[in-house]
Amino acid sequence: MASKSGRFSGYIRPITYALDLVSINILAYFFLSNYLFGKFFVAFISISWIIIAINVSFYEVFRFTKVVSILNKTVKQFILFALVCFAFSQFYVKDADSQLLLKYILSSFASVLFCKLFIFFALKKYRSIFGGNQRKVLIIGNGKNAYKLKDLFDENPDYGCNLIRFFEPKTNKKQQFDEIFSFSTENQIDVIFCSLENTSEKEIEELIDFSENELISVKFLPENQDLVSENNKVEYYSYIPVLTLQDTYLDDPITKTAKRIFDVVFSILVIVFVFSWLFPIIAIIIKLDSKGPVFFKQGRPGLFEKEFVCFKFRSMTANVQQSDQTSKGDMRITKVGKFIRKTSIDELPQFFNVLLGDMSVVGPRPNFWTHYKQYTNKIQKYNFRHYVKPGITGLAQVSGFRGEIEQDEDMENRVNFDVYYIKNWSLFLDLKIIFLTVYNIFKGEEKAY
């Protein structure tokens, strides 16, 4: 799980994707402009490259990855890429120039490998010399691998893992875990490494629940090699095995990119074909109905709890307190406001929030800051909602949990649906939620006020 810290690590992979795609296409133009190069070939090699990369985990390169592993991934990537390129040339061109195509593939291999290794070693130097791209980590336990990992971080600053504290087990485990949780929150820890030596199943569950709520990555150090199996996701820091919780689909950068492309395309379609003609109508009736601006802007907690300005059509009387949720029969809501809230038209400006990158079409609804302060330490995994961008609509809303929060159970139900969505995301689920949202608008909802 990605942490909430404001590092630039999240931009590294998208940049390498772009560089590689630009590289293979520029070289294709240089070597194959009079042979294969064209729009169809560009689309074919670009899509093929991405599909192959997903299957061979080509971009799964981390700060602890060995150079030999990078070479291995690159060779696998280009063997398969060469096969699809040769297959395309044999099918598309009668007299295929295999020698020219081979030059293109070898040049692409050299270019991509150089770029990959340059970024890898440049980041290592950046971490060791300038202390950048750091992650704050702490280690829990007294197993031999815990001590080895401590030494590894101390001796290798190029890993970029700043060991803030090493917690050795105490007799009062409950008191110590409370101390660990408090320390992690206060010091904005990014990653917790916990030895499985003398750690109970209950303690592991508590650590996982805490890490998910605080958006902290948690990794486990097995002291018994039997625990390292194909059922666990295993990473190796040097030769030290580290068990990592299985990532959600939304952890994958390619999935994030695909979701972002979907958000942008869908938002543009809504803005062009719905908002463009509906906006002047709604703007006029809002101004005729009551004094005040057409739009309402409010700060809400977004991705990793960072505040963003949420846009809506104004549905309440101007200059009244709007920081709290509305209730049935709320006197602050205007006549036009009742209609646009009932039909969810008031949410349409949030498609601009999506284009700005603050929101997604589908995701957990952004709560008020008052709700954040009230429930962040009260409801288990409440903060896990902030692991993804907030959405215009969400699974909780189409499942009957929209509108006023009357009791804690209402928020607990929303959180449960939001956590399920994040852990089980799929494009089909997004499309299903969008369909149900539109269906509910026409059907009408009891809690839509």
- pLDDT of 326: 67
| Closest to 61 (Cα-Cα) out of 72, 52, 50, 51 | 72
Q: Express as a percent the part of the chain with pLDDT over 70.
A: 91
Burial-class residue 391 by CB neighbours within 10 Å (0-12, 13-18, 19+): buried
Q: Which domains does the chain have, with CATH numbers?
A: 9-129 (no CATH), 134-247 (3.40.50.2300), 253-443 (no CATH)
CA neighbor of 414 nearest in space, from 426, 400, 424: 400
Contact yes or no for 318/332 (Cβ under 8 A): no
User: C-alpha distances in angstroms, 290 versus 311, 329, 332, 437?
Assistant: 19, 18, 11, 28
Mean pLDDT of 13-34: 90
pLDDT of the residue at 232: 59
Q: What local confidence, expressed as pLDDT, does residue 446 receive?
A: 63
Contact 361, 262 (CB under 8 A): yes
DSSP class per residue in 322-378: -SS---TT-TTB-HHHHHHHHTTGGGTTHHHHHHHTS-EEESPPPPPHHHHHHHTTT
For residue 418, the model assigns a pLDDT of 94
How open is the CA angle 378-364-260, to the nearest 5 degrees? 140
| DSSP strands (E only) in 124-248 | 135-140, 161-167, 191-195, 217-221, 233-237, 240-244
Which of 112-116, 170-174, 403-407, 435-439 shows the lowest mean pLDDT across its residues? 403-407
Give the pLDDT score at 247: 64
The β-bridge partners of 217 are: 191
**Poorest-confidence range of 225-239, 247-261, 306-320?**
225-239
As a whole number, mean pLDDT of residues 258-287 equals: 94
Distance from C-alpha of 244 to C-alpha of 246, rounded to nearest angstrom: 6
* pLDDT (mean) for 354-377: 92
Structure confidence at residue 319 (pLDDT): 66
> Closest by alpha carbon to 97, among 27, 28, 36?
36
**pLDDT for position 166:** 94
- Name the amino acid, one letter, at 44: F
- For residue 182 the two structure tokens come to 């408090």
pLDDT for residue 96 is more than 80: no
> What local confidence, expressed as pLDDT, does residue 299 receive?
94
Q: Distance from CA of residue 79 to its chain's centroid? A: 30
Q: Kindly tell me the sign of the dihedral angle through the C-alpha atoms of 18, 21, 27, 30.
A: negative
Q: What is the DSSP letter of 216?
A: -
32 in Cβ contact with 41 (< 8 Å)? yes
**Angle, alpha carbons 8-11-13 (nearest 5°):** 130
pLDDT at 327 exceeding the cut of 70: no
Q: Mean of the per-residue pLDDT values for the chain? A: 86
Contacts of residues 429-435 at CB distance under 8 Å and 24 or more positions apart, as own/partner, are 429/362, 429/395, 430/259, 430/262, 430/361, 430/362, 433/362, 433/393, 433/394, 433/395, 433/398, 434/266, 434/361, 434/362, 434/393
Q: What are phi and psi of 184, to 5 degrees?
A: -65, -40
Cα distance between residue 445 and residue 84, in whole Å: 52
Q: What is the pLDDT of residue 2?
A: 44
Given a cut of 60, is residue 115 above it in pLDDT?
Answer: yes
Task: Rank 52-56, 131-135, 232-236 by mean pLDDT and report only the highest.
Answer: 52-56
For residues 26 and 10, the model is more confident at 26
pLDDT at residue 282 in the model? 95
Residue 445 in tokens? 């909802």
What pLDDT band is residue 114 in, cutting at 50, 70 and 90? very high
List, for residues 192-248, the tens digit of each pLDDT value.
999 988 888 888 888 988 888 888 889 999 876 545 444 457 888 888 888 887 667
Higher pLDDT, 271 or 342: 271
If pLDDT is split at 50, 70 and 90, which confidence band does 1 have? very low
CA–CA separation, 290 and 285 (whole Å) = 9
If one compares 198 and 99, the residue with the highest pLDDT of the two is 99
Residue 276 in this model has a pLDDT that exceeds 90? yes
Q: How does pLDDT run across 384-441, given as a tens digit for each residue?
A: 898 899 999 999 999 988 777 778 888 999 999 999 999 889 889 999 999 999 998 8
62 pLDDT band (50/70/90 cuts)? confident
